[in-house]
Structure 1
Amino acid sequence: MTEVQTLAEFVDRAQLEEMSEAALGQLKIRVLDTIGVAIGALDAAPIKAIREMTLALGGAPISTLIGGGKTAPDRAAFYNGALSRYLDFMDSYLAPGETCHPSDNLGAVLAAAEMRDASGAEFLAALAVAYQVHTRLSDVAPVRARGFDHTVQGAYAAAAGVAKALRLSPEQIANAIAISGTANNALRVTRTGALSHWKGLAYPNTAMAATHAALLAAHGITGPAEVFEGNKGFEETIAGHFEIDWPREDLESVTRTILKKHNAEIHSQSAIDAALDIRARPGFSAASVREARLETFAVAFQIIGGGEEGDKRLVRNKEEADHSLPYMLAVALIDGEVQPEQYAPQRILAEDVQTLLRKVMIAPSPELSTLFPKFLPARLAIELENGRLLACSRDDYHGFYTDPFDWEAARRKFDRVTREKTSEIERDAIANVIETLERRRVAELTGLLGRIGGSTEGERRMRA
């Protein structure tokens, strides 16, 4: 058997009953979290543009769009994936050489599960498969240092989850994964330099392509059987040799993923906690800051601190702001929080935060770098104009795997991020379905999601 065929056997045999109670509970928390941040993005300008395009193109009304309407599964995968990704408030997984967001797979898996009128248990099992494939490939086959985006591993993960949700045979699953993995090797320039909308749309695009690949495989289309190990395959051209013993894999990786407490890039979470600790001390005033000096681990410095992925002091839009450690620390010190409101255009361009972010100095620490990814260390020292020095260190935060969200904490975040788009009745209904999803049908969840928002004539026609 080839490597992709061995992976397909793992995908085929995976069952929800294999998951521990803790893993299943954390998976449902991530479903709640992902859907919450998706709802919170419904009125974002890029999302409205994508919705307008989707409505104009149409598509067989098979899979639900969050906020109303139905379309073809691959288009639903893109739209719902864009929703869950836009706020940059989703979950993350930290590997030594790669950071990914396994919840990026939810939109595609949900669209496929709805197409098959799947049970909630089937949907959760397929999503758990996507989490396992995504995280394990990130562990052993990182691609960021070679100039490729973390969506590359996702091409395999999304295809695996969608193929599972579609109830494909092992042969079809292998073809789906092979097609998707061969075709979707994205460049890291997506997240370097001046950032564009594509930062939040790169994975939805991969998820859409993976869904399309699985649908092709369901209709008999084949893909390269040696996509991993073959001549000019993934290992030879991009990742280098790696090994995963798929017959021995479980569905527990979700417990090693982490949720965001702050609406900020994942590597900033503990640093923001340190900033908020200092802000709460007597006598602190953001206006009196002379300089803020942060020591952090190398990955954080390279991605969001002004290292190899570009200057982070030129902040003009949301995409640049939520990947700028100077901006996120500055706005935390001024506003006392980093939530979606901190990315309003007028907030980003305000003089107070633009002035303060230029006083933030970021430096990588070899000592702290050795602690990553088991910890998320940060050392912040702030010097005030009167010479007073305030310091704080953090190794983790609430939401990290050392201090994970429970259902109540996840529900508080869900309520906060969706409160302007939903009623209390709607929030309760969605949360109750997700909490007991293994005993329900996927249609119960998608039915609720399709009734949120949406009032244009085109949307009413799609509902009809």
Structure 2
Amino acid sequence: MEKEGEQVLHEICSYVLSNKELSQDALDNAYLCFWDSLACLFLGVKSEECRLRLTPLFDEPSEKFSCLIPGTTLRAHPLDAAFAISCALRWLDYNDAWLAQEWGHPSDNLGAILACAQYREKREKEKISGLRILEWMIKAHEIQGVLSLKNSLNRFGLDHVVFVRVASAAVASAILGGGEQEIMSALSNSFVDGAPLRIYRHAPVTGWRKSWAAADAVRRAVWLAFIALRGEMAYPNVLSQPQWGFPDAFLRGTQVVLDRPLSDYVMKNVLFKAYPAEYHSQSAIEAALALRDEVLAKLEKIQRIEIHTQLPAIRIIHKQGPLSNPADRDHCLEYIVAIALLFGQVTQGSYENDVAADPRIDNLRRKMVTIEDKTYTSAYYDPEKMAVPNAIQVFFEDGSSTDKKEVIFPLGHPRRRTEFRNVLPKKIEYSLDELFSADKKKQILELFSEKEKFLTQSVTQLCSLFVPNL
């Protein structure tokens, strides 16, 4: 009889190889997700810190390498290309999110998908269409997201990028032409690799690694996929073996489970970001912006600011005291709220040292009280709601206060998808500045509006369009 852990691996293998028709809703969201991720990538490569993580990989652009890296003039072999793509799109914490017992960003897997698709197209002379890219994105999202529903890694101090590595390994193996045996090899070895710690995501040492950890996982996944195709053996007992298996070694015996059948649930319900900030703060930004005009006029008279939030926000982004770098600031709920109140916007530049030097920011932070609202926590974990609520109320020295501004579902939530569709084109257009000429920007924006054309383009054609020409 097959053990439960082995069944999990076999279900993932079968799902990756299945040709089951995916829903139009999932494909539509995958299209939004591709372009949203691309915009995040373009913004990421403009960051000097991001480029520092990419440039050690390459001496100069070379035609001998098979994979283009969108947003740059660089080419690389698939492993480094996978790292570079995922690193850039993840850098600003602006790409999509998935919130459950475990948290994560399923579009992190796009580096593996684009790198392996380009490699296969060039090597096999087989056209890989935009439609195929979307289908693989749906599958990677589903694997990572469904694993995240009931399997909490953070509870054990471990990072969510384990599930990025698992999803990318499974999908990359399939893209490269692997069958069940090869996918099982890459998939099981991705669990054998174990898990990195979350230390780089939390005070007092929040650091840059949180922006490249997923890219590192993606690169490793592509390596596991390649050696699987060379005949590397599998370890199908990695989720069931007592003592030496992943559950006993890393989760204190808690079993890894799939909480629902693998289909297209995650892509249909994925969360997008309207602001470059950790997702648990997105609705707090909206609440702060709504109160800004009233608060700004009485800035010096503020007595305290109450932030009512969900438990995960308190665990992840509630911080007091000094913040050491941009990576620390974009994961601080109080800093983000202060930025929204003071400046009326939150951008990737909001976390830089010159902005953080404004003494008003820390002055407001010292007046903030962050409180868990248990009804918010309950709504957060409710699979029918998947809410990410925050509320803000500002109290003044004269005894007056603002109304308590509550936002239950942030702008990128599935319940507000229509609103996000109106925001995304602006996000894309803004991301193209400083990278592309006016003509190239026009071509890219036209392609975004011509979905049917995108679906039939080859991955090489798509990536070639995304090479800067300034």
SS at match of 2:321: coil
Matched with 1:143 is 153
Cα-to-partner distance string for 1:398-457 (whole Å, 9 max, x where unaligned): 11121125544321221123333334433343344453432221111111123456xxxx
1:167 deviates by: 2.3
Q: Could you tell me the TM-score, scaled by structure 1's length?
A: 0.90
Matched with 2:139 is 129
Aligned: 1:220 with 2:231: yes
SS at match of 1:382: strand
| Counterpart contact for 2:147–2:163, Cα < 8 Å | yes
Matched with 2:246 is 234
Any residues of structure 2 matched to 1:23-422 within 5 Å, and which?
23-56=26-59, 61-66=65-70, 67-95=72-100, 97-117=101-121, 118-193=128-203, 194-231=205-242, 232-239=244-251, 240-244=254-258, 248-281=261-294, 284-306=297-319, 312-373=320-381, 374-390=386-402, 391-405=404-418, 407-422=421-436
| Counterpart contact for 1:278–1:284, Cα < 8 Å | no
**Sequence identity percentage:** 23
Q: Residue 185 of structure 1 aligns to which amino acid in structure 2?
A: A
| Counterpart contact for 1:129–1:160, Cα < 8 Å | no
| Counterpart contact for 2:36–2:424, Cα < 8 Å | yes
Distance 1:287 1:137, change over 3 A: same
Q: Could you tell me how far apart the structure 2 residues matched to 1:287 and 1:425 are?
A: 48
Q: Residue 257 of structure 1 aligns to which amino acid in structure 2?
A: V
Q: Residue 392 of structure 2 aligns to which amino acid in structure 1?
A: L
Cα-to-partner distance string for 1:65-88 (whole Å, 9 max, x where unaligned): 221121111101111111001111
| Counterpart contact for 2:78–2:116, Cα < 8 Å | yes
| Counterpart contact for 1:286–1:333, Cα < 8 Å | no
What stretches of structure 1 of length at least 5 have no aligned partner?
Answer: 307-311, 454-464
Q: Could you tell me how far apart the structure 2 residues matched to 1:282 and 1:265 are?
A: 24
Cα-to-partner distance string for 1:367-401 (whole Å, 9 max, x where unaligned): 32111142112221101344320121111121112
| Counterpart contact for 1:190–1:202, Cα < 8 Å | no
Matched with 1:458 is none
Q: Could you tell me how far apart the structure 2 residues matched to 1:72 and 1:334 are?
A: 45
| Counterpart contact for 1:313–1:326, Cα < 8 Å | no
1:222 deviates by: 1.9
Q: Which of these residues, 9, 19, 24, is aligned with residue 21 of structure 1? A: 24
SS at match of 1:148: coil
Q: Could you tell me how far apart the structure 1 residues matched to 2:432 and 2:387 are?
A: 30
| Counterpart contact for 1:22–1:255, Cα < 8 Å | yes
- Deviating more after overlay: 276-285 vs 339-348: 276-285
Cα-to-partner distance string for 1:325-365 (whole Å, 9 max, x where unaligned): 11000010000011112122200222222222222221212
SS at match of 2:159: coil
Q: Residue 196 of structure 1 aligns to which amino acid in structure 2?
A: G
Q: Could you tell me how far apart the structure 2 residues matched to 1:283 and 1:35 are?
A: 35
Aligned length: 444
SS at match of 1:363: strand
| Counterpart contact for 1:14–1:129, Cα < 8 Å | no
Q: Could you tell me how far apart the structure 1 residues matched to 2:247 and 2:429 are?
A: 43
Cα-to-partner distance string for 1:260-312 (whole Å, 9 max, x where unaligned): 11111100011111111111348744444332111111111111113xxxxx4
Q: Could you tell me how far apart the structure 1 residues matched to 2:444 and 2:192 are?
A: 37
Q: Could you tell me how far apart the structure 2 residues matched to 1:327 and 1:282 are?
A: 16
1:184 deviates by: 4.3
| Counterpart contact for 2:200–2:208, Cα < 8 Å | no
- Deviating more after overlay: 181-190 vs 401-410: 401-410
| Counterpart contact for 2:194–2:246, Cα < 8 Å | no
Q: Residue 347 of structure 1 aligns to which amino acid in structure 2?
A: V
| Counterpart contact for 2:391–2:405, Cα < 8 Å | yes
Q: Could you tell me how far apart the structure 2 residues matched to 1:134 and 1:191 are?
A: 19
Q: Residue 344 of structure 2 aligns to which amino acid in structure 1?
A: G
1:215 deviates by: 0.8
Distance 1:245 1:351, change over 3 A: closer
Distance 1:329 1:153, change over 3 A: same
Cα-to-partner distance string for 1:160-205 (whole Å, 9 max, x where unaligned): 2212222211111111111222114111112112211101011100
Any residues of structure 2 matched to 1:428-443 within 5 Å, and which?
428-433=442-447, 435-436=451-452, 437-443=454-460
Q: Could you tell me how far apart the structure 1 residues matched to 2:241 and 2:444 are?
A: 45
Q: Could you tell me how far apart the structure 1 residues matched to 2:14 and 2:284 are?
A: 42
SS at match of 1:371: helix
Q: Residue 399 of structure 1 aligns to which amino acid in structure 2?
A: G
Distance 1:316 1:236, change over 3 A: closer
Q: Residue 135 of structure 2 aligns to which amino acid in structure 1?
A: A
1:323 deviates by: 0.3
Structure number with the bigger relative contact order (C-alpha 8 A, sep ≥ 6) is 1
Q: Could you tell me how far apart the structure 1 residues matched to 2:350 and 2:462 are?
A: 30
| Counterpart contact for 1:380–1:392, Cα < 8 Å | yes
- Deviating more after overlay: 431-440 vs 215-224: 431-440
Distance 1:352 1:282, change over 3 A: closer
Q: Could you tell me how far apart the structure 1 residues matched to 2:31 and 2:349 are?
A: 26
| Counterpart contact for 2:308–2:392, Cα < 8 Å | yes
Aligned-residue CA RMSD in angstroms?
2.1
| Counterpart contact for 2:93–2:278, Cα < 8 Å | yes
Q: Residue 339 of structure 2 aligns to which amino acid in structure 1?
A: V
Distance 1:138 1:245, change over 3 A: closer
Q: Residue 111 of structure 1 aligns to which amino acid in structure 2?
A: A
Cα-to-partner distance string for 1:44-93 (whole Å, 9 max, x where unaligned): 12222123201139896011122112111110111111100111111100
Q: Could you tell me how far apart the structure 1 residues matched to 2:179 and 2:61 are?
A: 29
